[in-house]
Amino acid sequence: MKDKLQFSIWFLVAAFFLMWAINIFFFAQPSPKQIPYSEFKDLLRSGKIEEVVLGDKVIRGTLKKEEDDKKPATEINTVRIDDPKLVEELEKNRVKFTGRFDESWFKDFFLAWVIPMGIIIFIWMFALRRMSPESGIMAIGKSKAKIYIDKDTGVTFNDVAGCDEAKEELKEVIDFLKTPQKYLELGGKIPKGILLVGPPGTGKTLLAKAVAGEAKVPFFALSGSAFVEMFVGVGASRVRDLFAQAQEKAPCIIFIDELDALGKARIAAPIGGGHEERENTLNQLLAEMDGFDTQKGVIIMAATNRPEILDLALLRPGRFDRHILVDRPDIKGREEILNVHTKGVKLAEGIDLKILAARTTGFVGADLANVVNEAALLAARRNKKSVEMNDFEEAINRLVAGLEKKKKVMSKKEQEIVAFHESGHALVAESVPHADKVHRISIIPRGIAALGYTLQLPTEDRYLMTRSELMDKLAVLLGGRVAEETVFKEVSTGAQNDLEKATNIARSMVKEFGMSERLGPITFERERRPLFLELGGFSKSEFSEETAKVIDEEVKKIMSDTYTRVKEIVAKKRDKLDILAKLLLEKEVIEGDELRKIINSQ
Ligand code: ADP
Ligand code: MG
Ligand code: ZN
């Protein structure tokens, strides 16, 4: 907002100077010579004046030319003075004269300033519109929160690579949009709202457009963040507009980008922060979503990279109840994305996109599009006929540096640490008897916080856990940190979340489950009460300080025993750990079966 304002001020200043220059160069006539009235009279009397124009306040005159003079006649200009004899004298000297109103300044001003100004403002507005992030074919309304309608987005699934799971899930929606009758007759239920969740730049917007493109239906789009800057009352009516129009054009897709900006949990807003407008808009959106049925063939899609802050009302059944994860692409996905974006680029012989994909761990689709573009620019700057490998290398290096600074991708060293960390979890999980099987390990940052992940799937639904199962769970949690320590002789902050979870489990074992030998089968955990009751001072600790000390000691003991146990496991299978980590660095993802083969090999 502020940027735009500054931009427009500078633009106006620049436009002003530009027009000033234009005026000087094009409009400036040879300006008439200013002379005193007395001199004018002298010229008149000596017969040197050819023609005059008498204005109310000024007199313009043209001097007589000599026969062979090629130059334009000299013009003179004088202030008119009350002189009743003037006309008489003009007639006497046979000067051609005309009178006129002094409106010329107005015409000049209009020609030289108003019209060009109008043209410039027009161009400017046009440019502004083109610059807005998702300029559409047509925009409704003058407000910032524009609804964009694209009759045909022209984007297909071929333009979106590396998110096959999401595409698979969206196929049903496309089918429905193509032939709603089929579903209507069968009475099938189609989700009303689909929420695309994933980090920025992974292609959520692109995917939504592709759904519309594949189904060949109109695409109505609206960005949640635009509402934040809006005038009171506009947001809600805009939403109403959007739904009314969409219903007329059904089947179609309504897409709300950056849903989090609009749908932030209502309580999360600062008190008295004046977010009424957002709330009204959100309420209107909820009302509209409830008020119409999918049978008409309108599907609402939304995108967010912060699902955790969304108002729960938005996620209720009948609203955005279908969530589709659009995660960072793995190495294969990145290769496919590079493939898509290098289609229109002239590549040198022997460029292997696989290698480029391997070098871009953690990059999202938008980053990869950027790499290709940057590489092409570099090649052009070097006057090459095609884009070569070293152009790509340099483009990647530049982007990595930038992204590392923004903490968006990991450096080589960090990747290595994460690889050993996750391998440690997996190794321990497969080495203790009671842990859930490892489904997959990965060093691709997942979601927004975690660096890598180890996915364990419980083999069955659990209601009870035995002591040894809990102890094994603890062991797995510590596996990451122990592996780091064993390999690098140093620990990183990456294990903080693991330690927190582990400590909670150990504490619960002692205080809630009565699993400590020293304290015996006693539970010390109080029933949790609402906070205000505790303020009354009735419910102080129900155990002595001494007991508290013992509890702490017991928790510590469980933790340190487990730590020793895990260290032994890791030390014994150190070779397997190295193999796993190396493979993980190479492939980024290892599936459970392959992992078990490695760990159980001799
Ligand atoms: P998001 O909405 O998730 O932030 P966008 O859809 O706006 O991401 O993606 C920005 C650009 O990055 C797209 O226009 C496209 O050029 C490129 N891009 C992102 N993801 C992909 C992908 N999976 N396949 C191909 N291109 C992609
Ligand atoms: Mg987007
Ligand atoms: Zn971990």
Q: What is the pLDDT of residues 549-561, one digit of tens each?
A: 888 999 999 999 9
CA-CA distance, 128 to 185, in Å (whole number)? 47
Give yes or no for residue 463 having a pLDDT over 70: no
Predicted pLDDT of residue 322: 87
Predicted pLDDT of residue 146: 62
Pocket lining: 256 vs ligand 1, CB cutoff 6 Å:
no
Our mutation pick for probing the ligand 1 site, out of 157, 206, 222, counting the most ligand atoms within 8 A of Cβ, is 206
Query: Residue 452: which pLDDT band, with cuts at 50, 70 and 90?
Result: low
Predicted pLDDT of residue 574: 94
Distance linking the first and last C-alpha atoms of the chain: 64
Predicted pLDDT of residue 380: 92
Give yes or no for residue 177 having a pLDDT over 60: yes
Q: Which ligand 1 atom sits closest to the C-alpha of 340?
A: 25
| Residue 489 CA neighbour count, 13 Å, CB half | 0
Query: Residue 232: which pLDDT band, with cuts at 50, 70 and 90?
Result: low
Looking at the chain, the whole-number percentage of residues with pLDDT higher than 90 is: 27
CA angle 283, 284, 290 (to 5 degrees): 90
Give yes or no for residue 567 having a pLDDT over 80: yes
Predicted pLDDT of residue 104: 60
Predicted pLDDT of residue 202: 92
Which uninterrupted H or E stretch holds 223?
A: strand 219-223
> Regarding predicted confidence, which is higher, 295 or 311?
311
Ligand with minimal distance to 203 CA = 1
Give yes or no for residue 152 having a pLDDT over 70: yes
Sheet holding 33-34, edge to edge: 33-34, 75-79, 58-63, 49-54, 96-99
Highest mean pLDDT pick, 110-119, 201-210, 402-411, 534-543: 201-210
Q: How far is the CA of 160 from the centre of ligand 1 (A)?
A: 7
Q: Which ligand 1 atom sits closest to the C-alpha of 333?
A: 23
Highest mean pLDDT pick, 61-75, 343-357, 527-541: 343-357
Ligand with minimal distance to 496 CA = 3
CA-CA distance, 93 to 46, in Å (whole number)? 9
Pocket lining: 155 vs ligand 1, CB cutoff 6 Å:
no
Give yes or no for residue 75 having a pLDDT over 90: no
Predicted pLDDT of residue 408: 66
Give yes or no for residue 267 having a pLDDT over 90: no
Mean pLDDT, the chain, integer: 80
pLDDT tens for 360-386 read 888 899 999 999 999 999 999 999 999
Predicted pLDDT of residue 456: 65
Query: What secondary structure does DSSP assign to 355-404, as a single string?
Result: HHHHT-TT--HHHHHHHHHHHHHHHHHTT-SSB-HHHHHHHHHHHHHHHH
Nearest Cα neighbor of 190 from 8, 322, 306 is: 322
Q: Answer for the pair 362, 408: CB distance below 8 angstroms, yes or no.
A: yes
Q: How far is the CA of 11 from the centre of ligand 2 (A)?
A: 28
pLDDT tens for 500-523 read 889 988 988 888 888 887 877 777
pLDDT tens for 164-175 read 889 999 998 898
Per-residue DSSP letter, 512: T
Catalytic status, residue 185: no
Give yes or no for residue 432 having a pLDDT over 90: yes
Give yes or no for residue 135 having a pLDDT over 50: no
CA-CA distance, 303 to 284, in Å (whole number)? 18
Minimal-distance CA residue to ligand 1 atom 11: 366
Predicted pLDDT of residue 134: 40
Query: Residue 214: which pLDDT band, with cuts at 50, 70 and 90?
Result: very high
Predicted pLDDT of residue 399: 84
Nearest Cα neighbor of 231 from 281, 286, 282 is: 281
Rg of the chain in Å (alpha carbons)? 38
Give yes or no for residue 159 having a pLDDT over 60: yes
Pocket lining: 206 vs ligand 1, CB cutoff 6 Å:
yes
Query: Residue 138: which pLDDT band, with cuts at 50, 70 and 90?
Result: very low
Active-site entry in 388, 422, 554, 588: 422
Query: Residue 19: which pLDDT band, with cuts at 50, 70 and 90?
Result: confident
CA-CA distance, 394 to 404, in Å (whole number)? 15
Predicted pLDDT of residue 69: 65
pLDDT tens for 300-331 read 999 998 887 888 888 888 888 888 988 888 88
Average pLDDT value for residue range 469-478:
92
Pocket lining: 162 vs ligand 1, CB cutoff 6 Å:
yes
pLDDT tens for 584-599 read 998 888 988 999 999 9
Pocket lining: 226 vs ligand 1, CB cutoff 6 Å:
no
Pocket lining: 158 vs ligand 1, CB cutoff 6 Å:
no
* Ordered domains of the chain (ranges, CATH): 146-266+275-325 (3.40.50.300), 331-401 (1.10.8.60), 412-600 (1.20.58.760)
Q: Which ligand 1 atom sits closest to the C-alpha of 162?
A: 23
What pTM did the predictor assign? Answer: 0.59
Predicted pLDDT of residue 582: 95
Average pLDDT value for residue range 399-409:
71
Q: Which ligand 1 atom sits closest to the C-alpha of 161?
A: 24
